[in-house]
Chains A and B, each alone.
Chain A
Amino acid sequence: MQAFVKNIAEENQYKATHLLRILHAIQAHYHYIPKPAIEQLASLLNIARTQIIGVIEFYSFFHLSPRGRYELLISDSITDHLLGKHALTDYLAIKLNVAVGEVRTDGLVSLDNTSCTGLCDQGPAGLVNGYALPHLDHARIDQISELINQQTPVALWPSQLFQVDDHIIKPGLLLNHPLTPGEALQSTFKRGLVATLAELDTSALRGRGGAGFKTASKWQYCRDEPENQRYVVCNADEGEPGTFKDRVLLNSYAQQVIEGMTVCAAIIGAQQGFLYLRGEYLFLYDKLQQVLVERRQQGLLGNNILNSGLDFDIDICLGAGAYICGEESALIESLEGKMGIPRNRPPYPVTQGYLGKPTVVNNVETFLAAAAIAHLGGDWFASIGTGQSKGTKILSISGDCAKPGIYEYAFGTPIETILNDCGAEELLGVQIGGPSGLFISDLELQRKLAFEDLATGGSFIIFNKHRNLLDIVNNFTRFFAHESCGFCTPCRVGTSLLKNQLAKIIDGHGSAGDVVALEELCVLVKNYSHCGLGQTAANPIISTLARFPELYQSRLKNISYEPGFDLDASLENARQLANRNDAAAHLTQVEQD
């Protein structure tokens, strides 16, 4: 082990900022991070062992105790549930003789749930040793079980098991016209950097991650900082359940995304860029590295790009299962080899980002659009859209519709048009922008896709009338409790309290005051949390409570109070120990008259 760890550390130049990559390598080899490896790394990287332990315990894909040699994770996204994930997981557990959350006694296989894997258009999905397994069904599970029991190395599994499709159903302005590699850079250098930034300004492009900050302003602020080192970061930590557009962009439009990053580097004056790829997209890692190699060969990356004098290169960093790292300052912490805890802001990353230096962090789609604008100009882009939302938005559509996949729409498109295009019938509602977004009902279909109305990072999940809304809200609420980084009190404690309070109502233990208590808690978590995660964690409850109050009320008992735990069940241990089952050994949940 010592030689192995030493090698990995050496390959990473003993850099503490590379801690996640080093841990990925160790986890992949040993299926956990052994204690001696932690000790050795602490001394090789010259960091405290507590930083290493902290990182291991923070990220879902690292473990202090052994997982199976085949580590199976099943996506727990609501979209996977809609496609029958629950029954399939049960089948898998029986087939492999391992309980969810456990390692089989022989150590061969472990099974667990994981947050949305970004394969919502081809679920139920899972991961085996980090590699995506789409389209899970009984036949595939039989096949997978067989491969595991025969101990076939994952690298030798049939490639069709890992076949992830793009499903681009409706391309638009951007997806219809991918640039030829180098086009945007040539235009940028020809026009001049300041003039290109002005084009970006004209385009009125706003960040596509959801928050919608004006891209030209971000680049301008970063460019204006009196520093000589700056960084460009592409946020490909696409963790919002129901979104998978970045997966497709990086699979089929990676050249253009990376060109967008390079244009940014030229404008702000950065030599180094990072593409932070969510761990769930491990299957794209080699392919993306290949794109970087090709671009270096073509003179589009590396020293003196297109003879312009620009030196810029990109490193791909892999996340490790933490939704919070989609928040830009948490992402930067993660890039630095730390736990993904959002920083206090201000200062914002454009002034103090990676290693304290000015940093632009943009979404994959933003860079894609920026490259196109650099080539085709701002007016071209701004000619479509609405007053405050120019251009198009790429949506990841999943859930109850005939044609899930990638759709590109001009801003201002009514929701109804989108639903007609993808074949949604018997609609209950749509979750726009993922769990952190908004649930709209079938009465709001004239609302428009736009920052001034329905802003979204791209997640668009459709639910039909046969779905149980409270189950959906429950899934989202549990997601936030699981993904809360735990830094601040209102989110750390509040998201777990929300989870429990909602479960109390859903399980039928709620009474008159419980919905009021739930609402109060929602407001508290929303108003006092440190970052966007906590500030939006109550959105699923708030937005459905506003639209379907009767649904919550219908679960309440017509009494003034009921305990939030099962009283009779809490006597079960005592009954067993005293070997009793008489009437006095039981309790009713509420007083019987």
Chain B
Amino acid sequence: MKTKIRIATTSLGGCFGCHMSLLDLDERLIPLAELIEFDRSPLTDIEHCTNCDIGLIEGGVCNSENVHVLREFRKNCKILVAVGACAITGGLPAMRNFIPLEECLAESYLRGIGVENAQIPNDLELPLLLDKVRPLHEVVKVDYFLPGCPPSAEVFWTFLNDLIAGREPSLPYECVHYD
């Protein structure tokens, strides 16, 4: 049997909408499953990447943990793909880039409705926020970009089939959208 293409996926500063869109492949998931298998992903219980062919990442880089996860993907995936508007531009989370971090945290943890014992969280387990949300390609090298919010199932289908067939991936007009 031919070795399956091994794919890892994750969401950094994202909403998992891109993952949902991947699942929108519906019945096409069945033939796809013949060709691919999942490594680290919300769809599996694998905690860390092993050697993978493709890493699909949605969401921008918002905090220190995102940086670590992104680096783990870059290190272990032959091909790293920024999936969706947030991974490509920072997306909606990056709209906080114009507001000082102090104000963002104060709004949530000090002035928020119903907040008791107001304080900025300082637990050592918590990742710290970067002062700006960044797209993936400003932190590591990214090989491909799949735009969309989310990219449609068709985008995943076209892209993965191109890669699996050994073609240089290209998206037709209908597949390119930013919303």
Contact = CB atoms under 8 A, between A and B. Distances in A.
A577 B124 contact: no
Contact of B141 (A561, A570, A587): A561
B124 A584 contact: yes
B67 interface: yes
A580 B132 CA distance: 19
A567 interface: yes
Nearest to B74: A591
Given A584-B64, A587-B64, A574 B129 contact: yes
Given A573-B101, A577-B102, A577-B120, A585 B128 contact: yes
A577 B126 CA distance: 13
Contacts of A513: 141
A563 interface: yes
A568 to B, nearest CB: 9
Contacts of A585: 64, 128
A34 interface: no
A453 B48 CA distance: 61
A578 B71 contact: no
Interface string A577-589: 1111010110100
Nearest to B137: A561
Nearest to A592: B71
Contacts of A572: 131
B175 interface: no
A565 B138 contact: yes
A561 B101 contact: no
A513 B142 CA distance: 12
B128 A575 contact: yes
A573 B102 contact: yes
A314 to B, nearest CB: 50
A564 interface: yes
B130 interface: yes
Contact of B138 (A564, A584, A591): A564
Contacts of A575: 128
Contacts, number: 56
Nearest to B100: A573
B140 interface: yes
B25 interface: no
Interface string B103-116: 00100000000000
A584 B102 CA distance: 20
A561 B128 contact: no
B82 to A, nearest CB: 13
A517 to B, nearest CB: 11
Contacts of A383: none
A564 to B, nearest CB: 7
Given A561-B141, A565-B138, A570-B130, A577 B67 contact: no
A577 to B, nearest CB: 5
Given A564-B138, A577-B101, A591 B130 contact: no
Contacts of B128: 571, 574-575, 578, 580, 585
Interface string A543-575: 000000000000000001101110100111111
A377 B124 CA distance: 85
Contact of A563 (B64, B100, B122, B138): B138
A580 B102 contact: no
A418 B126 CA distance: 65
Contacts of B120: 577-578
Contacts of A578: 120-122, 126, 128
B177 interface: no
Contacts of A587: 64, 67
A564 B139 CA distance: 8
Contacts of A577: 101-102, 105, 120
B64 A579 contact: no
B6 interface: no
Nearest to B127: A584
Contacts of A564: 138
Contacts of A570: 130-132
Nearest to A574: B128
Contacts of B121: 578
B110 to A, nearest CB: 10
Contacts of B132: 570
B53 to A, nearest CB: 18
A573 B131 contact: yes
A360 to B, nearest CB: 49
Nearest to B123: A578
Contacts of B139: 563, 567
Contacts of A580: 122, 124, 128
A572 B71 CA distance: 20
Interface string A471-494: 000000000000000000000000
Contact of A571 (B64, B126, B138, B141): B64
A560 B71 CA distance: 13
Contacts of A561: 140-141
A587 B138 CA distance: 15
A584 B67 CA distance: 12
Nearest to B72: A591
Given A587-B64, A587-B67, A574 B124 contact: no
Interface string B150-175: 00000000000000000000000000
Interface string A92-106: 000000000000000
A571 B130 contact: yes
Identify which of A573, A580, A585 gathers the most chain B CB atoms within 10 Å of its CB.
A573
B96 interface: no
Nearest to A585: B128
10 contacts: A561-B140, A563-B139, A567-B139, A571-B128, A571-B129, A573-B102, A575-B128, A578-B121, A587-B64, A591-B75
The 3 closest A-B pairs by CB, nearest first: A574-B128, A561-B141, A578-B122
Interface of A: 513, 560-561, 563-565, 567, 570-575, 577-580, 582, 584-585, 587, 591
Interface of B: 64, 67, 71, 74-75, 100-102, 105, 120-122, 124, 126-132, 134, 138-141
Given A571-B129, A580-B128, A591-B71, 7 more contacts: A565-B134, A573-B101, A574-B101, A577-B120, A578-B122, A578-B126, A591-B75
